Structure 1
Amino acid sequence: MTTTRFINANVIDTRNGQVLPDRQVRVQDGRIVAVSDTALEGADDQVIDVRGRYLMPGMVDSHVHVTAITPNFALLETLSPFYVGAKSSELLKDMLMRGFTTVRDAGGADHGLASALEEDSLIGPRLMYAGRALSQTGGHADMRGAGQQTFEGCFCCAGLGRVCDGVSEVRRAARDEIRKGATQLKIMASGGVASPTDRVDSTQFSLEEIDAIVEEATAANIHTMAHAYTARAINRLIPRGVRTIEHGNLMDEESCRLFLEHGAYLTPTLITYDALAREGVEAGMAEHLQRKVYDVLEAGHKALAMAQEHGVKMLYGSDLLGRMQRYQLDEFHLRKDVIPTAELLRSATCNAADAYGHSGDFGEVIPGARGDLLVLEGNPLDDITVLTRPEEQLLLIMKAGKLYKNVM
């Protein structure tokens, strides 16, 4: 692999929220091997003169559904997985071109997509995947309608989740997803918007079932992420070792205390509710499900402010579905008036690595980290919206030492 040396770079130190001026950065064999304020030698290096622009690590979206080519999940489960994979390839390429070099899939993706991306058979970000999200009968990943006695598709094809009940079943399901290479397990632990038979304010899975899932993840040295809206759902999850809470729109002060006590992370996904409210039905969501969006839409903004006030660590997440995935960068707009710029940038970089148990592996421009780098015209620490205009601001994208865009 070519050794690349960036010179005259203003490096964004994401962990400390500062600019390191006039740096050289060497990437070799897919990893950063040196960051220096003096000249690095290397006659055979490919040299890229950044010319005072801003070099930062590739971004991380901690909540995506790369196979959610439609917000109609019942339809998705009947589609050919070959068709879904082909359409997902378009979504994945677009994510990389927005500057996301790593994404964490929250249900639906598998080892096949992850391997294709790793091999460059598909162009897109590095893919961490939960496999099938674990759901109880009638839970957030059970897409059967109230009057439906049988299922038209099958739970082994293109859906986002699998149904399991009881400690032995959830343990077997968790072990099966781990066997298939899951980098984290996803628990559907409360009601949701897109599921037809549950209520947003319901809790799902017994404590014993949750304990079994977390125990299996811990045994495999991976983390758990849990879909949860209400304080009642969140506050029973965090003490049991769930690492990241997804959404959290209806959390309370006790939730914040638990986040801090147990070192858990919150992944707000404000943009998906904004997008669903505006065009969910037009994009394919059933109208009666789209109405559930308003149960959590405004609450999400209040939860964000509460979490920031209490110092809860947060991750960047979008959770967008189908064609609405084009709004992936707009989460920055929805958070920027509440979250300080440096902290918002951390949520999309080093916080994710910390939350996943991979500190130093990505999300920072430091020796040993993956060679996932972006060059920007402007400084995102001065104006976070620089990141939301990739067509004009994002000049270079490197993932694992390979260039995917370079208009320097």
Structure 2
Amino acid sequence: MTRYAITEARIVDVVAGKILEGQAIVVEDGLIQAIVPQASLDAGLRKVSMGGRHVAPGLLDAHTHVFISQFNDGGDMLPSEMTARAGRQLSEMIDRGFTTVRDAGGADAGHKSAVDKGLFKGPRLFVSGKILSQTGGHGDHRARADYCSCSSASGTGTSVIADGVDAVRKAVRENARQGVDQIKIMAGGGVSSPGDKLKHPQYSLDEIRAITDEAELCGRYVMAHVYADRGIRRAVECGVRSIEHGNFLTPETAEIMARHDAVLVPTLITYWADGRFGMDFGWAPENQAKNEEVLEFGQESLKIAHAAGVTVGYGTDLCWSPKTYQGDGLAMHEAALGVVEALRCATVNNAKVLRLDGKAGVIAPGAWADFVVLDANPYDGLACFGHADNKVVAVVKDGIAQRDDRKLFAA
């Protein structure tokens, strides 16, 4: 049995939006057992002093791509090498303070198992497997002159083209058979795909209903890539639970999302990063123009969703731009929602997105002992999680230090 207490810490209470002092966090077998006055601790209990540093909940990223890192993945690079590279990406993610991530397509149950078994150092991983896309949809990356009707949109196996009610049901069942945690669909056009427009919804209503029904039958939920307001509304009314991106959300559709208890996962940092690096890694001018359009409206969608009572999560979606910017999107949320709510997006709100209420994203009894230790108060500004002015000095997952720059957890 592993039992100790974190002391001399300024505890970041993301629910109340305040800092707790004079309290100790009692950790036992990977869980938070209690939060008690430091003076009440048993004399014989091992104490781990933070030296007055701030201790925040481990961060959650609800839209990552750990398997994808280069624009030409699946061309010359084999999945075996991509998986080896994913191990490095996962290790770097947890070192940034992200103790739980949801992969939005590409990573599968094998990647998750590699983390769980300790083959890869990394965050707790929730995987989507192959993304479902209609022919000509955002997951269909064939060139216009390519008439191959392959079921997989690329050699990476990151998506599967499925058309019609029977085909999408089978695709959901196949993903479930392979052990995914949630089902990802393309419900609208995207920035990087050549054959669609951002405003065009994808999949028929019958197809989306079949997907959400099949997902519910096997205990999963559906997350949908979609930008256009019409596409968001269609998806939510057909049972999609998690809207990814959602940049063109209107107040009227946000009200519908709130009534259906749907959640929004914005991915603002990827547009900023891709705008900076896109032409270097192989984008066409058309891709760049789409990216500028979604970047322009991104922060407004956060404000609209929050005002309607929609849970706003935090995602990064850094596929081809450097994943080192993973923490920088928090400052963009801060600019839209304020520092307290922005930190909630990547903690307690994302816990709801991943259906981990009470387990992740909070420092509370019964939650996983996942912490980020900082040489700064995050409520003074979330740039402390960014790559340029990073103040993270330790990261703990399941009560075990994954990063410990100051040797705080050394026995």
Give TM-score scaled by structure 2 length.
0.93
- In 1: Cα distance, 2:290 partner to 2:174 partner: 32
**Whole-Å Cα distance in 2 between the matches of residues 348 and 192 of structure 1?**
24
**Aligned residue type for 1:20:** L
> Retained in 1: the 8 A contact 2:228–2:248?
yes
> Which aligned pairs between 1:179-218 and structure 2 lie closer than 5 A?
179-218=177-216
Instruction: Give the Cα separation in 2 of the matches to 1:78 and 1:184.
Output: 29
For 2:104, the equivalent position in structure 1 comes to 106
Query: What is the alpha-carbon distance in structure 1 between the residues aligned to residue 373 and residue 335 of structure 2?
Result: 25
Structure 1 segment 30-45 matched on structure 2, within 5 A: 30-38=30-38, 39-41=40-42, 43=44, 45=46
Match of 1:20 in 2: 20
RMSD: 2.1
1:6-405 map, 5 Å: 6-38=6-38, 39-41=40-42, 43=44, 45=46, 47-72=47-72, 75-76=73-74, 79-150=77-148, 158-388=156-386, 392-405=390-403
Q: Confirm or deny: 8 A CA contact 1:78 1:158 kept in the other structure.
A: no
The question of whether the paired residues in 1 share the 8 Å contact of 2:325 and 2:386 is answered with no
- Normalising by structure 1, we get a TM-score of 0.94
Name the SS of the counterpart of 1:329 in structure 2: coil
Deviation for aligned residue 1:263: 1.4
Which digits, 9 at most, give the CA deviation of each residue in 1:146-195, with x for residues without a partner?
A: 11112799568523211111111101110111111111111100010111
Per-residue CA distance 1:220-273 (angstroms, 9 max, x = gap): 222211101001100111122211111111121211111221111111111111
SS at match of 2:270: helix
Please give the per-residue CA displacement for 1:196-217, whole angstroms capped at 9, x wherever unaligned: 2111111111111111111122
Please state whether the residue corresponding to 2:246 is helix, strand or coil: strand
Q: CA deviation at 1:390?
A: 8.3
Between 1:252-261 and 1:106-115, the stretch displaced more is 252-261
Q: Output the CA distance in 1 between the equivalents of 2:151 and 2:167.
A: 21
Secondary structure of the corresponding residue to residue 303 of structure 1: helix
Sequence identity percentage:
38
3-state SS of paired residue (1:274): helix
Assess, with a 3 A threshold, how the Cα gap between structure 1 residues 7 and 389 changes in structure 2: closer, same or farther.
farther
Which letter does structure 2 place at the counterpart of 1:355?
V
Query: Amino acid of the residue matched to residue 9 of structure 2?
Result: A
Q: Partner of 1:76: helix, strand, or coil?
A: coil
Q: Tell me the distance in 2 between the aligned counterparts of 1:143 and 1:168.
A: 23
Corresponding residue pairs, total: 405
Q: Using the alignment, how far apart are the partners of 1:122 and 1:272 within structure 2?
A: 25
**How has the CA–CA distance of structure 1 residues 78 and 288 changed in structure 2, closer, same or farther, with 3 Å as cutoff?**
farther
Quote the Cα distance in structure 1 between the aligned partners of 2:334 and 2:394: 24
Relative to structure 1, the CA distance from residue 169 to residue 247 in structure 2 (aligned partners, 3 Å threshold; closer, same or farther) is same
Deviation of 1:341 after TM superposition, in Å, equals: 1.4
CA–CA separation in structure 2 for the residues paired with 1:151 and 1:91: 32
The SS at the match of 1:249 is: coil
SS of the residue corresponding to residue 127 of structure 1 reads strand
Distance in 1 between residues matched to 2:179 and 2:43, nearest whole Å:
38
2:265–2:313 contact (8 Å) kept in structure 1: yes
Contact 2:62 2:353 in 1 (8 A): no
Name the counterpart of 1:5: 5
Q: Secondary structure at the match of 1:321?
A: coil
Counterpart Cα distance in 2 of 1:44 and 1:343: 35
Provide the rounded CA distance (Å) in 2 between the counterparts of 1:146 and 1:60: 37
Range that drifts further, 376-385 or 163-172: 376-385
Contact kept, 8 Å, 2:60 with 2:99, in 1: the verdict is yes
Stretch of structure 1 that moved more, 328-337 or 137-146: 328-337
Q: Which amino acid aligns with 2:133?
A: S
Gaps of 5+ in 1: none
C-alpha distance 265-194 of structure 1, shift in aligned 2 (>3 A): same
CA–CA separation in structure 1 for the residues paired with 2:85 and 2:63: 19
